[in-house]
Structure 1
Amino acid sequence: VMGRARDGRLLPHQDARIPDAHGYESFTGCPVEILAVEFFSLAQCYVSGGNDSVIRCWNSTDLSRVATLRGHNESVTCLAVDANFLFSGSEDGTVLTWNLSVLEGVIGVLDAPEVTLGPTAMIEAHPGATVHAMLMLPSLGFLATCGSDSKVNVWD
């Protein structure tokens, strides 16, 4: 489980269900405030989004950056993972889809170069508003988003 600090650090915790859990490791590779974090289990990496509109993927073993994802025009405010796909919401009102399956072959490879990815699809989820949160409903194949436009939208 990961938490975020206002200074841009991601703070892994052993168990977030324990109220007095103590951070056991942190890393400072992100130059901006982190607004969202998810775990991509197929490649064993953390994914973070922040104020610079960039999404970064971090190796869960050594906390090195393994990928950079660019496509949003504003801050990345929320993330959701489903199988090989990452969904990212932003202050620009869009949800971008990313295919992270390429990361499965990169994580754990000694001296592998950092990967740069672009989005595979874009949804104009909340035009003129900020996407605040997303919920993946894998059994139904839906993605729900909510935004500063006071709407909840469901996408298939």
Structure 2
Amino acid sequence: GHEGAVNSVAWSPDGNYLLSGAEDGTMLVWDMATKESLRPLVGNEGGIHSVIWSTDGSYLVSGSVEGTVRVWSVDTGENALLDTVVGTVNSLAWSPAETYLVAGAEDGLIRVWDLVTGERLPLLEGHEGSVNSVAWSPDGRFLASASADGTVRAWDPATGESVLLPDHLAGGAGSVAWSPDAKYLAAGATDGTIWIWNVETGAHLATLAGHAGEINSMIWSPTANDLASGSADGTVLIWREEAVND
């Protein structure tokens, strides 16, 4: 396996394989039937902090501590350097149709690439700290970002303009997650609280307290009624609709 901390994992679309990226710079694809790893993916500079899988299962994307964004062929293991950014690539996300790739990086900038042309769109600027998490809304209209500066923004990728959600998260924002209907946005703070907004109105709906450590990951249920959160305190909590919409 890996010889360093595992920073990011991603399922293959069919659920048969799991991709893992680690601090030692290695990426492994695991066969879930045998629980064994296939050939390692070699060619990264520095630790891997973010990995994602394409929906057709044919290629992978990785982001490293050295700022490289690489696209990998699952079949051959070969890779191509898409771009190099300043600082660690903390988060990667696809647009719903996978025509665009977005990366949030340590330098506070957000980069979007058009994968049809291979060109990078104008930088999305506004955060004053590391961009820790990025997520595209399911309807493709907005891009959300969470930063170490404690702010959460919703961007219009077409114009580059953003709406700064009106609350400051103590200690910084570490993760963001859209509801399936793209109506609600959740952000996890380093102090263990979770903030919920109605993106259409900008209204702050709830602040959820229950974790004792930083929120590392969140996901909504398919019905958008419940929210699951995982924390550095080692717990996973399920928040019911009445709490989320309080």
**Out of 144, 165, 189, which is 1:87 matched to?**
144
Please name the residue that 1:26 is paired with: 81
CA offsets 1:96-119 (integer angstroms, 9 cap, x no match)? 1111235xxxxxxxxxxxxxx231
Please give the root-mean-square deviation of Cα atoms over the aligned residues, in Å: 2.4
Question: Hey, what's the Cα distance between the residues in 2 that align with 1:118 and 1:26?
Answer: 28
Question: Hey, what's the Cα distance between the residues in 1 that align with 2:70 and 2:78?
Answer: 6
Please name the residue that 1:99 is paired with: 156
Does residue 8 of the first structure (1) align with residue 67 of the second (2)? yes
Q: Counterpart amino acid of 1:118?
A: E
Question: Hey, what's the Cα distance between the residues in 2 that align with 1:144 and 1:154?
Answer: 5
Please name the residue that 2:165 is paired with: 123
Deviation of residue 56 (structure 1)? 1.0
Question: Hey, what's the Cα distance between the residues in 1 that align with 2:87 and 2:119?
Answer: 16
Q: Mapping of 1:6-155 within 5 angstroms?
A: 6-14=65-73, 22=77, 24-41=79-96, 44-82=99-137, 83-102=140-159, 117-119=160-162, 121-139=163-181, 141-155=183-197
CA offsets 1:1-32 (integer angstroms, 9 cap, x no match)? 322111111122446xxxx9835322233233
Q: Counterpart amino acid of 2:64?
A: A
Question: Hey, what's the Cα distance between the residues in 2 that align with 1:44 and 1:140?
Answer: 19
Q: Which has the larger radius of gyration?
A: 2
Question: Hey, what's the Cα distance between the residues in 1 that align with 2:62 and 2:192?
Answer: 26
- 3-state SS of paired residue (1:92): coil
Question: Hey, what's the Cα distance between the residues in 2 that align with 1:75 and 1:5?
Answer: 14
The structure, 1 or 2, with the larger RCO (C-alpha pairs under 8 Å, 6+ apart) is 1
Could you tell me whether the CA contact under 8 Å between 1:76 and 1:89 is conserved in 2?
yes
**C-alpha spacing 1:126/1:151, structure 2 compared with 1 (3 Å):** farther
Q: Kindly tell me the number of residue pairs found equivalent between the two proteins.
A: 137
Could you tell me whether the CA contact under 8 Å between 2:87 and 2:105 is conserved in 1?
yes
Question: Hey, what's the Cα distance between the residues in 1 that align with 2:141 and 2:76?
Answer: 30
Under a length normalisation based on structure 2, what TM-score does the superposition of the two structures give? 0.50
Question: Hey, what's the Cα distance between the residues in 2 that align with 1:21 and 1:34?
Answer: 24
- 3-state SS of paired residue (2:93): strand
Question: Hey, what's the Cα distance between the residues in 1 that align with 2:119 and 2:129?
Answer: 24
**C-alpha spacing 1:22/1:43, structure 2 compared with 1 (3 Å):** closer
Question: Hey, what's the Cα distance between the residues in 2 that align with 1:87 and 1:26?
Answer: 25
**C-alpha spacing 1:118/1:101, structure 2 compared with 1 (3 Å):** closer
State, as a whole percentage, how many aligned pairs show the same letter: 22
CA offsets 1:35-61 (integer angstroms, 9 cap, x no match)? 111112458121111111111111213
Under a length normalisation based on structure 1, what TM-score does the superposition of the two structures give? 0.75
Could you tell me whether the CA contact under 8 Å between 2:132 and 2:146 is conserved in 1?
yes
